Chains A and B, each alone.
Chain A
Amino acid sequence: VPVSVICSPPQNYPLYIRSVPTENELKFHYTVHTSLDVVDEKISAMGKALVDQRELYLGLLYPTEDYKVYGYVTNSKVKFVMVVDSSNTALRDNEIRSMFRKLHNSYTDIMCNPFYNPGDCIHSRAFDNMVNSMMMQVC
């Protein structure tokens, strides 16, 4: 059960956060926030080398007993963090990658919108729908 998706710009405040099971949401928020540190660490460790598609996907950030956290960073240093349930073993790496890719695509669509100011919270309905459908798909 992908429980939470968050994207945050380099300043590390969330532009968008969504959890599917709404109970215990705060715990996931916390997890996501702490995992931002891990993302940062991975990015800096990777060096300032050019980012290509492979490096955008950071993979499993760290697993805990209940869930796994995956990270993804865009070219503009916007981080996507996804927390999924560990019990969902059917969720393969490729699927996570494709989910991140979809997120990235939707995010670029939002960016194309001239009415969206970068840095605003994301209120796009299309984005919401995409995220919901994605999470429902995995649930």
Chain B
Amino acid sequence: MEGLTLSEAEQRYYCDLFSYCDTESTKKVASNGRVLELFRAAQLPNDVVMQIMELCGATRLGYFGRSQFYIALKLVAVAQSGLPLRVESLNTVKDLPLPRFVVSKNEQESRHTALYSSDADNPASYSGVIPPPPGRIQVKKGSVSHDAVQQRTSTDQQESTSPVVSPQQSPPTSPHTWRKHNRHPSGGNNERPLAGPGPFWAPFSEAQPGSSTSSDPIWSGHSPPPHQENWVSFADTPPTSALLAMHPASVQDQTTVRTVASATTTNEIRRQSSSYDDPWKITDEQRQYYVNQFKTIQPDLNGFIPGSAAKEFFTKSKLPILELSHIWELSDFDKDGALTLDEFCAAFHLVVARKNGYDLPEKLPESLMPKLIDLEDSTEVGEQTGEVGYSSSPAEAPPSKSPSMPSLNQTWPELNQSSEQWETFSERSSSSQTLTQFDSNIAPADPDTAIVHPVPIRMTPSKIHMQEMELKRTGSDHANPTSPLLVKPPDLPEENKMSSSVKFTAGNTVNGYSSSDSYTSDPEQIGSTVTRQRSHSGTSPDNTAPPPPPPRPHPSHSRSSSLDMNRSFSVTPGQQQAGVVAYPPAVPPRPQPSQGAGPHVHRPVDAEGLIAHTSTSPQQIPEQPNFADFSQFEAFAVSGVNKEEDDEIETHSEVLQVEKPSDSASSLRVAKADGRVEDKAPANVPTSAGKGTTPLAPPPKPIRRRLKSEDELKPEAEEHTQKTGVIAAVLASQPSIPRSVGKDKKAIQASIRRNKETNTVLARLNSELQQQLKDVLEERISLEVQLEQLRPFSHL
């Protein structure tokens, strides 16, 4: 075959024609009826047709392959333009008009033929039968040039939407094709007896007497039952507006004709169609009908239709479950398993379109996206304004479309860039869409209310909310939340209306998310804050302060002996505090240098700990000059052991790293407290040596801990506001401490005894609880075994 160069429009046109003729999808077309029909429709003399067939090689092959078919079509065009048929003319003739095919089947076509012929004088006009592959017709029609629409408007007052194709454009659609399309309803809708669907369909058909009467004669040739015709006609209104079919019944779509902005180059021609002539737009009557249907299920227009009710409702339409499932996926915008009014209208519209043979889109058309913007706080107001805007849409559709179109068109290319980001982009476009077109779906309420969301957002447009949903889902992924949100705000200013509120909400969202993120990363945060606090305290010259340990989830651990343990373990600065409980610290250099004589606020804690110590706890560290300070706190420690210990724990959260079993910890703590007390006791008594020996049988841990805590606490004293109370108490008691040394000793011992008793009680309780736990676990295991035996197949 000779090489054949086709322009883009020709390419498309031929492809469609080929697909139309290729009824069996075998990629080659026998000289069957379709092809012959087509050639006859070219209104060429028979011998010319024979010549064409010969030239393209079909007679040789016996069938029309794709290339032969294309050549034949080109030759038809050549012949129609009056040029002699030559093989060379295939490529030499430039600017060849597209071949014209006039089909004369019945009155419809004759009417259309008249329409076509009326435009025959327009050299630039083409009318063609473009049998679309099922489901693409609307797309194709959408891509028709828009000036065609306007030209048609002049020629056919009835058909304002009849398309006129410029030479380089693909031919316009025609009612013929529309009919054909209807004949090949994908999914076999044709067989569905629409006459018998639920009652809700019938009223609708009655509601369209005007359109139906006009469309009935058109569709009379169709096998579908009248109801379907009504549906068809009704559904025609939005599609035909985009399809620009020369459909007499499309009068009502006259107002929906729009000026076409240049269609963006996307693979999805549907996008193109929607960019200028939205086939998915819902007209007023449709919208009203949908709203009424919604009310029958859910009286509250701001409420939701639960999934099960919606399922029943749409199952009545007799679409296959798979398609209904897809419709649901498309229309449930917020994925909450329920339909708001907008979502319901979108779903209903898709069902209607599907029943009329339109293929379901892969993604929700922008005009069907629910308006999630709550410009006003009250949903009623929003709805009312939306209604008003909607009702006035026909009049202002053309002007309103054009300004919005460019922005939409700009968004389309981006939409195709990354499928992953399609949500964000499409939401953005939908928001821009809804911003400028009030004739889109109304958003009476924020459909996001059904979504459980940590950050309540009523003012956010859909995209923001979708983002939040995305973010919420990727909850633990802290990296994500901020990035898409941050991407969004820059885009938001583009939108006239929502810019401020969007930004605001976006900001809120970001904040919300950052807070939620911080919430999810609570332990880390706590640790970080704790470390920060510690670092603050550490700023003061604390040469002995060890590095902040990992965060402690329970800073308010009341009886956490781990605190003690930590403190005891943190013998020397830098010594690791990682909760090694049983780590027997080496003998600490008892005389910690920085032990000042100032009132050690934290000391009260130590003091009490010390007080609680048994006198038997060995105290390895000899007396220290600073002990004298602690003696002041001893009297205190007796009374406020627990409280101060708590405070101590809180303040020294860093030391609270270790978590130990409570009993052992408590015992240790008591021991340490003893040690500490003992440490301090000698401090009280100037006899350092004597006192040094008495305290603290337990390992030097408590001592060390005290030391460390002393060291740390001293510098931290000023910064720990929590200790103010303790400090005050301590300070108050300080004067009295020296006097009551002797009494302190007894008090210490008494408290030690008490603590020991408490300790044993707790230990007993703990063991009992452990025993109970074991029993319960055993029971559980036995129950699970039984369950496994009873369950036949599942093994989880």
Contact = CB atoms under 8 A, between A and B. Distances in A.
A101 B332 contact: no
A114 to B, nearest CB: 3
Given A98-B477, A129-B419, A113 B796 contact: no
Q: Which 6 A-B pairs have the closest CB atoms?
A: A114-B307, A114-B311, A115-B325, A112-B337, A133-B419, A10-B794
Nearest to A104: B473
B784 A123 contact: no
A109 B329 contact: yes
A54 B326 CA distance: 32
Contact of B476 (A10, A53, A114): A53
B94 interface: no
A64 interface: no
B336 interface: yes
Interface string A113-133: 111100000011110010001
Given A53-B476, A115-B311, A115-B324, A77 B332 contact: no
Interface string B307-322: 1101100100000011
A44 interface: yes
A105 interface: yes
B473 A105 contact: yes
A10 B335 contact: no
A126 B337 contact: no
B88 interface: no
Given A109-B335, A112-B332, 20 more contacts: A11-B793, A40-B795, A43-B796, A44-B796, A53-B476, A110-B329, A112-B307, A112-B335, A112-B337, A113-B325, A113-B328, A113-B329, A114-B311, A114-B328, A115-B311, A115-B321, A115-B324, A125-B329, A126-B326, A126-B329
A129 B337 contact: no
Nearest to A54: B476
Nearest to B337: A112
B389 interface: no
Given A109-B335, A112-B336, A114-B308, A124 B794 contact: no
Interface string A49-81: 000010000000000000000000000010000
Interface in B460-497: 473-477
Nearest to B330: A126
B529 to A, nearest CB: 23
A113 B343 CA distance: 13
B420 A133 contact: yes
Residue among B322, B325, B419, B476 with the highest chain A CB neighbour number at 10 A? B325
Given A53-B476, A133-B419, A115 B795 contact: no
Interface in B747-796: 784, 793-796
A88 B784 CA distance: 41
Contact of B329 (A44, A77, A124, A133): A124
Residue among B307, B335, B794, B796 with the highest chain A CB neighbour number at 10 A? B796
Nearest to A116: B325
Interface residues of A, number: 26
Contacts of A40: 795-796
Contact of B474 (A98, A114, A115): A98
B784 A11 contact: no
A15 to B, nearest CB: 14
A60 B511 CA distance: 35
B322 A129 contact: no
Contacts of A110: 329
A49 to B, nearest CB: 11
Q: How large is the interface on B (under 10, 10 to 19, 20 to 34, 35 or more residues)?
A: 20 to 34
A48 interface: yes
Contacts of B329: 109-110, 113, 124-126
B380 interface: no
A7 to B, nearest CB: 14
Residue among A11, A105, A112 with the highest chain B CB neighbour number at 10 A? A112
Residue among A53, A109, A115 with the highest chain B CB neighbour number at 10 A? A115
A92 to B, nearest CB: 13
Interface of B: 307-308, 310-311, 314, 321-322, 324-326, 328-329, 332, 335-337, 362, 419-420, 473-477, 784, 793-796
A137 interface: yes
Given A113-B332, A114-B337, A129-B419, A124 B476 contact: no
Contacts of A126: 326, 329
A98 B335 CA distance: 20
Contacts of B335: 108-109, 112
B160 to A, nearest CB: 35
A115 B796 contact: no
Nearest to A39: B796
Given A10-B794, A125-B362, A129-B362, A114 B420 contact: no
Contacts of B307: 112-114
A10 B796 contact: yes
A93 B755 CA distance: 50
Contact of B310 (A43, A114, A123, A129): A114
B474 A101 contact: yes
A56 to B, nearest CB: 11
B127 to A, nearest CB: 35
Nearest to B477: A98
Nearest to A43: B796
A133 B328 CA distance: 21
B473 A77 contact: no
A129 B422 CA distance: 11
Nearest to B336: A112
B782 to A, nearest CB: 13
Interface in A1-42: 10-11, 40
24 contacts: A10-B795, A10-B796, A40-B795, A48-B784, A53-B475, A53-B476, A98-B477, A101-B474, A109-B335, A110-B329, A112-B307, A112-B332, A112-B335, A112-B336, A112-B337, A113-B325, A114-B307, A115-B324, A123-B325, A125-B326, A126-B329, A129-B362, A133-B419, A133-B420
Contacts of A112: 307, 332, 335-337
A107 B155 CA distance: 53
A11 B308 CA distance: 26
A13 B322 CA distance: 20
Nearest to B520: A53
